[in-house]
């Protein structure tokens, strides 16, 4: 690719950019070695310096800074160093200084095999002196590269590098996301392009006195595996932070952070002041770790800054949400009020429905030229009604269920889905003025682009992804009707379950495109199959299983069965993993899992922790349309599902839990204080804000609803910890308050036991490791909610990966009735309790 990237303005490793000014002046002078390239004269070298050159020929005349670049090998570690000298007679302030990073993330004109074996993705931990960049090969099995600072070279900022997008290999496109820059100083940007937002870190500058030189640099180390990136960083003496349960904290959950350092902590501060409070704890069991308990207070972004006794600064980035169940309360209310579309005179028959929303103007989106957004189709148009349906699965609300019944029985079944053959339209809204002469399409919109489909294109039924969303809506309503029967009035649970099966059958009848690809959110089909088996509906269960088996058989013959509509994607892995695991194909399942591990990082930053790689979806579903690394788009919630399922099968692989729980937590951060949920957060440093469109948030929440839970572990370094809950005691029993948003799933790792509820909410779990007993407390409704319906009974399902030595399989110690594989737990005075052993 280098022949196509040899132009001025193409960035490469070894370039440098800066803005500087003499002290006392206000205007910045800009330098950028990519702008006008000339051949450099190599300097003579000795010792561990392997190559060097002064960069003056590639910088503007009269540059305030004299910069020499050196490539050094120190103790067998490659370093890239920049000696920055003030050659003026007065002091010079460096307002920005950045080192562009270039790794092979170019998928253009490459086959799936070439892309997966040759290419990598890279993501930052924007942690100041403790910052680093991880470069992970797409296979997920090859050793990753870790880029670390040399000396005082903090990762203060992370800036996307603009380039021309018109020439091959098509920079900033679906096949080439683009490149980023490690910024050592960012004040000049903060005063200009970034002035309208709050940067990740406090912006700094540095004043060089006349004749003074400061060296900035990066070092490149290879880690044995992606799971060992943190230990590789720690081996250099650089501080490492491990956060539990992650860096997205609901207001009613306590966090933990463990610092691995060879020095001591001198000071800890929080920005904004009071957003978090911290206290030391004694959880750490292994020397070298310092433990702190983090209590959240203020909604939104916050930063924990740790200053060490040697002067180094580490920043840990948090996002605080409302209490987890309260956030879902708000989400359901917003979706079924502000986003509830009731215009019965609409010629496209979109009412009643939960329709897309534009938060920047607080209005429903009915006329976007990307017709699916206002057309209840695709991910960006179905996202809102999908989220509303899945919210009822985990937290049914009588008023919301009533509206969802209207939507499902009037608009979903009949308008979105054809009643005569169960096919699903790509969009019910279209652009064809002659067919709707009384409808006024806004004249200020451009209706000439390909995505302004006419009726024939919009009503096409060949896109398999759309069928999964429809299946999920029916299945969610089945769960409501089955477990909260008093909330439904139009159809019984059997009807909704049959509709879900009918939709899957139509998806896989050979007439629908992409049906043999992994489909985002299709874990719901696994849930559907499980429910059919539990209900004893053998014929339908056999049908669904045989259809899924046919798809898996195709994948089992392929090394990279992750195809989609795009050249490269992170949507197919979920389905490939789920069904390969179901059909005992460990090879294909592991290939899918490793692929996810390559693009879903674990770092002490809420925006990147568990954030699966997505970068083009704002073009198709965002208000701000551009190619950029998206933060907590639906890849987070959906790719978390295989990670969590794999952890439940391997309950000492805590990396999987950290990555998976980070992904599951992502969709909570998308929900604002009034309940609006954005499709994703813009990561570019000049924006750092949630997109105004609701867009395709629904699949993200779908993953959250199916995978979120509380996970209780006994970590070798940190002892008893809970992801999704608060541990209040550890002896003689481990007592946990269940605080996750769903309150339906609890996994006890030492037992390999998954406890799940069809109805009711987990309140507390008490696990006695010595006696191997578990006491479960269930309530009819989760605390923290205001409108959620009370369950008539608790319905508990127990799943265990293997019998526990000396105990066997967990079962209730008292006699309980069963229904469709669930133990029925009655409530007495608002509480149900059962002991398992």
CB 656 within 8 A of CB 167: no
Partnered with residue 834 across adjacent β-strands are: 776
| Bond before 633 cis per omega within 30 degrees | no
d(CA 615, CA 611): 11
Closest CA relative to residue 185, chosen from 340, 16, 43: 16
Backbone angles phi, psi at 350, to 5 degrees: -85, -10
d(CA 392, CA 476): 7
Cα–Cα distances (Å) from 118 to 107, 110, 136, 435, in that order, read 9, 9, 11, 50
* Contacts within 8 Å (CB) and 24+ apart, 668-671: 668/248, 668/250, 668/321, 668/324, 668/327, 668/704, 668/741, 669/248, 669/319, 669/321, 669/606, 669/632, 670/632, 670/697, 670/700, 671/321, 671/322, 671/327, 671/328, 671/330, 671/331
Whole-number pLDDT of residue 806: 72
Q: Tell me the per-residue pLDDT of 552-600, one tens digit each, with 9 for 90 and over.
A: 999 999 999 998 989 899 999 999 999 999 999 999 999 999 999 999 9
Fill in the DSSP letter of residue 417. B
Fill in the DSSP letter of residue 831. B
Whole-number pLDDT of residue 808: 80
d(CA 77, CA 724): 40
CB 428 within 8 A of CB 349: yes
Partnered with residue 320 across adjacent β-strands are: 249, 300
d(CA 632, CA 683): 10
How many other C-beta atoms are found inside a 10 Å radius of the C-beta of residue 405?
21
**Domain layout of the chain by residue ranges:** 2-235, 240-321, 323-515, 710-836
Q: Which residues are CB-neighbours of 823 under 8 A, at least 6 positions away?
A: 795, 796, 797, 798, 812, 816, 817, 834
CATH class of 2-235: mainly beta
The owner of tokens 């769960």 is 479
CA 658, 659, 664, 669 dihedral sign is positive
Q: Tell me the per-residue pLDDT of 104-152, one tens digit each, with 9 for 90 and over.
A: 999 999 999 999 999 999 999 999 999 999 999 999 999 999 999 999 9
Closest CA relative to residue 473, chosen from 421, 517, 415, 412: 412
C-alpha angle 431-434-440 in degrees, rounded to nearest 5 = 60
pLDDT along the chain (837 residues), means of 10: 95 98 96 96 97 97 95 97 97 98 97 96 98 98 98 98 97 98 98 98 98 98 98 98 98 98 97 98 97 98 98 98 98 98 98 98 98 98 98 98 98 97 98 98 98 98 98 98 98 98 98 97 98 98 98 98 92 98 98 98 98 98 98 98 98 98 98 98 98 98 98 98 98 97 98 97 97 96 96 96 78 95 96 96
CA 383, 387, 393, 396 dihedral sign is negative
Q: Which residues are CB-neighbours of 341 under 8 A, at least 6 positions away?
A: 350, 351, 352, 353, 354, 355, 364, 366
Regarding the domain delimited by 240-321, which CATH topology (the fold level of the hierarchy) does it fall under? Immunoglobulin-like (2.60.40)
For helices 324-336 and 398-406, what crossing angle results, to 10°? 40
Token digits for 78? Answer: 């490659």
Closest CA relative to residue 600, chosen from 582, 573, 618: 573
Instruction: Pick left, alpha or beta for residue 759 (phi over 0 → left; psi -120 to 50 → alpha; otherwise beta).
Output: beta
d(CA 774, CA 792): 23
SS3 267: strand
Whole-number pLDDT of residue 411: 98
Whole-number pLDDT of residue 805: 74
> How many CA atoms lie within 13 Å of 561's alpha carbon, on the beta-carbon side?
28
C-alpha Rg value of the chain to the nearest Å: 27
CB 467 within 8 A of CB 512: yes
Pairing assessment for the beta strands 745-748 and 710-715 based on DSSP bridges: parallel
Closest CA relative to residue 560, chosen from 178, 133, 107: 107
pTM exceeding 0.95: yes
Token digits for 191? Answer: 């005063």
CB 521 within 8 A of CB 469: yes
How many other C-beta atoms are found inside a 10 Å radius of the C-beta of residue 677?
28
CB 249 within 8 A of CB 724: no
d(CA 53, CA 55): 6
d(CA 670, CA 807): 42
The owner of tokens 């103790």 is 75
Helix (H) or strand (E) segment spanning residue 2: none
CA 479, 480, 483, 485 dihedral sign is negative
Helix (H) or strand (E) segment spanning residue 657: helix 654-669
SS3 400: helix
Backbone angles phi, psi at 746, to 5 degrees: -130, 125
SS3 74: strand
C-alpha angle 454-456-458 in degrees, rounded to nearest 5 = 65
Whole-number pLDDT of residue 804: 72
């Amino acid at each position: 690719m280098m022949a196509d990237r040899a132009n001025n303005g193409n960035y490469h490793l070894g370039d440098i950019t800066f803005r500087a000014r003499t002290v006392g002046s206000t205007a910045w002078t800009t330098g950028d070695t990519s702008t006008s390239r000339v051949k450099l004269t190599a300097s003579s070298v000795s010792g561990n310096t392997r190559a060097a050159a002064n960069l003056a020929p590639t910088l503007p005349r009269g540059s305030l800074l004299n910069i020499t670049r050196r490539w050094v090998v120190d103790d067998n570690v490659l370093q890239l160093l920049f000696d920055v000298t003030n050659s003026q007679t007065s002091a010079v302030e460096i307002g920005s200084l950045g080192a562009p990073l270039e790794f092979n993330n170019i998928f253009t004109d490459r086959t799936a095999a070439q892309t997966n074996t040759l290419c990598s993705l890279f993501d930052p931990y924007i942690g100041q002196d403790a910052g680093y960049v991880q470069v992970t090969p797409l296979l997920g099995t090859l050793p990753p590269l870790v880029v670390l600072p040399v000396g005082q070279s903090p990762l203060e900022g992370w800036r996307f590098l603009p380039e021309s997008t018109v020439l091959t290999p098509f920079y900033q496109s679906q096949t080439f996301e683009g490149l980023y820059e490690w910024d050592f100083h960012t004040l000049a940007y903060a005063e200009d392009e970034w002035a309208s937002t709050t940067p990740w870190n406090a912006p700094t500058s540095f004043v060089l006195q006349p004749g003074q030189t400061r060296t900035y640099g990066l070092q490149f180390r290879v880690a044995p595996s992606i799971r060992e990136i943190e230990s590789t960083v720690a081996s250099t003496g650089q501080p490492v932070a491990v956060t539990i349960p992650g860096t997205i904290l609901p207001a009613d959950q306590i966090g933990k952070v463990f610092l691995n350092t060879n020095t001591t902590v001198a000071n800890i501060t929080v920005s904004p002041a009071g957003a978090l409070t911290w206290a030391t704890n004694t959880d750490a069991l292994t020397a070298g770790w310092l433990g702190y308990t983090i209590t959240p207070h203020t909604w939104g972004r916050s930063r924990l800054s740790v200053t060490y006794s040697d002067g180094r600064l580490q920043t840990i980035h948090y996002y605080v949400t409302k209490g987890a169940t309260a956030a879902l309360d708000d989400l359901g209310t917003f979706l079924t009020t502000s986003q509830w579309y009731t215009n019965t005179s609409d010629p496209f028959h979109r009412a009643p429905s939960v329709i897309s929303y534009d938060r920047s103007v607080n209005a429903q989106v009915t006329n976007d030229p990307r017709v699916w957004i206002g057309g209840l189709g695709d991910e960006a148009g179905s996202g809102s009604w999908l989220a509303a349906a899945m919210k009822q699965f985990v937290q049914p609300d009588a008023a919301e269920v009533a509206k969802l019944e209207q939507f499902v029985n009037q608009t979903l079944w009949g308008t979105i889905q054809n009643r005569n053959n169960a096919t699903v339209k790509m969009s019910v809204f279209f652009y064809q003025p002659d067919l709707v002469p009384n409808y006024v399409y806004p004249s200020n919109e451009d209706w000439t682009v390909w995505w302004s489909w006419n009726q024939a294109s919009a009503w096409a039924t060949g896109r398999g992804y759309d069928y999964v969303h429809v299946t999920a809506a029916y299945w969610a309503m089945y769960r409501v009707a089955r477990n909260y029967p008093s909330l439904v009035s139009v159809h019984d649970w059997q009807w909704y379950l049959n509709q879900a099966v009918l939709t899957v059958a139509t998806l896989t009848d050979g007439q629908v495109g992409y049906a043999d690809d992994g489909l985002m959110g299709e874990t719901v089909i696994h849930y559907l199959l499980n429910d059919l088996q539990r209900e004893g509906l053998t014929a339908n269960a056999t049908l669904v299983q045989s259809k899924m088996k046919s798809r898996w058989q195709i994948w089992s013959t392929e090394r990279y069965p992750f195809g989609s509509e795009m050249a490269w994607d992170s949507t197919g892995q979920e389905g490939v993993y789920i069904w390969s695991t179901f059909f005992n194909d460990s090879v294909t399942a592991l290939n899918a899992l490793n692929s996810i591990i390559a693009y879903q990082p674990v770092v002490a930053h809420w925006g990147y922790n568990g954030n699966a790689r997505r970068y083009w979806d704002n073009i198709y579903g965002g208000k701000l349309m551009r190619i950029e690394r998206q933060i907590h788009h639906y890849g987070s919630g959906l790719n978390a599902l295989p990670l969590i399922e794999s952890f439940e099968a391997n309950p000492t692989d805590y990396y999987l839990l950290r990555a998976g729980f980070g992904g599951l937590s992502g969709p909570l951060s998308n929900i604002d204080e009034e309940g609006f949920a954005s499709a994703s957060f813009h990561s570019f440093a000049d924006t750092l804000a949630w997109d105004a469109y609701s867009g395709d948030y629904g699949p993200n929440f779908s993953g959250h609803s199916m995978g979120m839970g509380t996970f209780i572990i006994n970590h070798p370094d940190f002892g008893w910890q809970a992801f999704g809950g608060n541990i209040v005691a550890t002896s003689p029993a481990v007592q946990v308050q269940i605080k996750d948003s769903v309150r339906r799933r609890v996994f006890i790792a030492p037992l390999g036991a998954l406890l799940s509820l069809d109805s009711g909410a987990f309140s507390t779990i008490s696990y006695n490791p010595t006696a191997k007993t578990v006491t479960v407390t269930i309530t009819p409704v989760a605390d923290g909610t205001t409108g959620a319906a009370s369950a008539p009974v608790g319905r508990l399902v127990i799943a265990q990966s293997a019998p526990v030595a000396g105990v066997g399989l967990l079962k209730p110690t008292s006699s309980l009735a069963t229904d469709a594989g669930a133990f029925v737990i009655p409530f007495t005075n608002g509480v149900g309790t059962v002991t398992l052993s």
